């Protein structure tokens, strides 16, 4: 479902039929602000809100899927990874928890 646009940014396809609904409540001031921003961008409020929410959602998901390590941590990680060690009880439990989280996720 995800693809990159002409600028190389990840976006979600709008080819699929749009039949799911989101509703939200806001203050009057928030609504006016959103309407003004959408107008300035030449978008409907729906398009403006959806495009910005999708962008933020993808960023949140990406941040939770990527782990960044310092050079020192990367070196330590590789040293341990390359060693012929048996996993300890904490690692076995962590892997079970990870597997359960992955299997119970929505596939993102």
Ramachandran class of 10: left when φ > 0, alpha when ψ lies in -120 to 50, beta otherwise:
beta
pTM for this predicted structure = 0.55
In a domain, 19, yes or no: no
Can you give the residue range of the structural domain that contains 59?
Answer: 25-103
pLDDT in tens, 75-93: 999 998 899 888 899 999 9
Q: Could you tell me if 31 and 42 are in contact, meaning their C-beta atoms sit under 8 angstroms apart? A: no
Encode pLDDT of 4-62 as tens digits: 555 656 556 556 788 899 999 999 999 999 999 999 999 999 999 999 999 999 999 99
Find where tokens 């012929």 sit. Answer: 84
Overall number of domains in the chain? 1
And the tokens for 64?
């939770």
């Amino acid at each position: 479902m995800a693809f990159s646009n002409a600028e190389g940014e990840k976006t979600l396809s709008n080819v699929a039929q749009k039949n799911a609904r989101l509703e939200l409540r806001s203050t009057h001031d928030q609504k006016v602000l959103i309407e003004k921003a959408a107008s300035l961008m030449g978008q409907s409020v729906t398009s403006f809100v959806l495009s910005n929410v999708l962008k933020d959602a993808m960023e949140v998901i990406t941040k939770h899927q990527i782990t960044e390590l310092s050079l020192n941590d990367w070196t330590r990680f590789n040293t341990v990874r390359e060693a012929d060690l048996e996993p300890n009880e904490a690692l076995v439990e962590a892997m079970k928890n990870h597997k359960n989280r992955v299997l119970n996720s929505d596939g993102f």
